[in-house]
Structure 1
Amino acid sequence: MSSAAVLAGLMLVGITTVHGQTALEMHRFFRNQIGLSEDQIASIDRGKAVAKVIPSRTPAEVIVFGAVFVEAPPESYVRYAFDVERLLRSPSYLGVRRFSSPPATSDLEGFSLEPDDIRSLKFCRPGKCAIQLQADVMHELQRSLDWAAPNLDAQVNERMRRAMLEVVRRYQAEGNRVLGSYHDTEHPFDFDSQLRSLVGRSEALPVYLPHLSHYLLDYPGSMPASAQSMLHWERVSFGLKPTLRLNHTIAYQPGGVMSGAQIVVVKQLFASHYFQLALDLTACVPDSGHKGFYLITLKGSSQQGLTGWKGALLRLIVVSRTRSAEEKILVNIKQVLEEKQQAARVN
């Protein structure tokens, strides 16, 4: 099953929210589109989290579906998604910060490469680099750094912060095209064309969420009236080497046939390692009894190192960990949102 097919099913689920048959249609979607068992579907209705890896187009792509029922209003998840400080409560997050409006140098305090990454930059060149960077950034670092200086780490991090601030400012003004291409391997990875390919394979997105589709591809234009937007950076470690990432989060109320749902999308703009492209879609679909909502996630990424025979072995580990981690994430989200909802009822 392709990611496009899964996304199409997800969008179609939203239509049923206006007809009062959400649970029945959700079950049909889980069964027919995702391939969940009756036991898994029953588990979701009982409030258990279920995650499943979806077959992808290439070995480099990893697509994970997840679902859990949350007894809270859908908008509570939007508030949760925009609270980036909560991430610091997870041991996997070593640093995180939301960008100001307009972005400032101080926003990148703590945005630092690992010492091993800094040392590797001395040998970095287009086509062979231990960090995912654009070719012009590699050339600038090679030209401007004093590799024998005792404050080399500070030099590198200061230039990386300056470069990332420029990326964020230009992205807000000009959109995806300024993100350029990673040139750490002999085959450059162009962000804009790869994102357009991913969204283009998801036929339902422009049909059921046309404004969001345009916003993902044509940002900063095509801003939906109900959209919220946030940029933040994070320093994360999921068992491998720590990775720096820049993310753009968008929250959107579709209206029309999708009225009542909340959509949150996280688009990765940069990652120092592993993730060439990452796009996370979350749909909060209210149930017909207004007791809560189905929290449905679809997380797709393109990751280096998952091709070839060595990559195939690594992929087995990555996929297993990703599925397990998604279930734990959903359990945590459910717990946080329901506890806040119960506290609000008491007060």
Structure 2
Amino acid sequence: MNRPFPPSIAFRKAWLAGFLLLAASPVRAGLTAGQLIDQVGISQADVARLQKGEIVSYSVVETGSKSLATGIAMYLKTAPARIVEVVRRGELAARDPDVTARGVVPSGAGVEAFAKFAYGRAQVDEARDLLNVRPGSGFNLSAEEIAGFAALKASLASDDDETVAEAVSRQYRSVLAARLRAYRSKGLAGMAAYERGDGDKADPAAELTDAIRASKLLGDRFPGLQKALLGYPAEMPAGAEDSFIWLNRMVQGRPTPILVHRIIHAGNDGALLLQSAFYVGHSYDVSQTLAGTVPYLDGALVFYSVRSSTDQVTGLGEALKHSIGRGQMEKEMIEKFRALKASVKG
């Protein structure tokens, strides 16, 4: 079943998850606020606005018709460590209410790491859609994964809601475990294409590769981190730590499994987070996040940029769809920054 969605909903939720992960882990940024301002292209007029405490946006290069990207920045008269403290102590109303389950996937873990991912009785319609899934844009699944759900349907002895929800949950946990295992083993090369029907496929690996390569901030200032993302599972550069998490997030009323590869570069003078959502169950294909906080004047400069790939901004009226999508993304991101500012002052 194909269900249109406002792109900004998915991206807003991706933003919140990224910011929470950032704020929970202080990391060495490796550049000054001035260098950052120049690198991302914040104008002098916007620098003046930043210093007055306003939130400003900056352009982020989009990599094609499916790409939607933007960035925002804010100056807070507090140390980066205080931003970390605010989130750690729960002072921000920052716990995403749409995340129904989450977990860290340790090295070597299998399907058991996804034990808390499940469709409940309230989501049985979603489970039934998966049981009857066909190639298309309603779900991001490979041909093999679609065949797996078809085989599951044929094997079910009962069609009651509880049986369907439990069986589909088990099957999807296997999909997530296999997707994560393939990425851990082969990186971008291990990402299976999504079947769209009529011979069409979406290539999340190519879309994520384009997003990573498009970041001049990464390429110019952190080439080792960029290389590590593109070449994973190559060794991380010194000072960088990577981990994997999974989320079950409600997007337009639909449970959405998301697999995330996170890289953090640590220190006491700031924070840098790289986050690749390399598998998303529906609505958008992939996303690439670059976020951080560095000392600035007598406080901290907080910045965040995201590139996401979605079919929802292509086709007739593409330019308008992109403009509306970016505007919605910025508006929602700004609301979160305002909440952070209020919590820091409080």
Task: Give the TM-score category using the shorter length.
Answer: 0.7 to 0.9
Q: What are the within-5 Å matches in structure 2 for residues 137-286 of structure 1?
A: 137-146=145-154, 149-150=159-160, 151-185=163-197, 186-203=199-216, 205-239=218-252, 241-253=254-266, 262-286=271-295
Which deviates further from its counterpart, 168-177 or 234-243? 234-243
The residue type paired with residue 324 of structure 1 is K
Q: Distance in 2 between matches of 1:193 and 1:296?
A: 26
Partner of 2:314: 307
Partner of 2:134: 125
Q: Distance in 1 between matches of 2:126 and 2:201?
A: 20
Q: Number of matched residues?
A: 309
Partner of 2:22: none
Q: What are the within-5 Å matches in structure 2 for residues 287-302 of structure 1?
A: 287=296, 289=297, 291-302=298-309
Q: Distance in 2 between matches of 1:279 and 1:178?
A: 17
CA contact (8 A) 1:234 1:246 kept: yes
Q: Secondary structure at the match of 1:184?
A: strand
**Alignment CA distance shift 1:308-1:15 (3 Å):** same
CA contact (8 A) 2:187 2:231 kept: yes
**Alignment CA distance shift 1:157-1:57 (3 Å):** same
Deviation at 1:317?
4.6
The residue type paired with residue 54 of structure 2 is K
**Alignment CA distance shift 1:74-1:58 (3 Å):** same
Q: Deviations over 1:11-35 (max 9, x none)?
A: xxx8873xxxx45x666567xx24x
Deviation at 1:97?
2.2
Q: Give unmatched runs, 5+ long, in structure 1.
A: 1-13, 343-347
The residue type paired with residue 307 of structure 2 is G
Q: Distance in 2 between matches of 1:145 and 1:81?
A: 44
Deviation at 1:302?
0.7
**Given the two structures, how large is their TM-score scaled by the length of structure 1?**
0.74
Q: Distance in 2 between matches of 1:335 and 1:263?
A: 22
Deviation at 1:89?
2.3
Q: Which has the higher contact order (CA 8 A, sep 6+)?
A: 2
CA contact (8 A) 1:117 1:130 kept: no
Q: Distance in 2 between matches of 1:303 and 1:82?
A: 32
**Given the two structures, how large is their TM-score scaled by the length of structure 2?**
0.75
Partner of 1:5: none
Q: Deviations over 1:123-144 (max 9, x none)?
A: 4334x25210111111111123
CA contact (8 A) 1:64 1:298 kept: yes
Q: Distance in 2 between matches of 1:176 and 1:79?
A: 34
Q: Secondary structure at the match of 1:89?
A: coil
The yes-or-no answer on 1:48 pairing with 2:58 is: no
Deviation at 1:309?
2.2
- What RMSD, in angstroms, separates the aligned Cα atoms of the two structures? 3.5
Q: Give unmatched runs, 5+ long, in structure 2.
A: 1-28
Identity %: 19
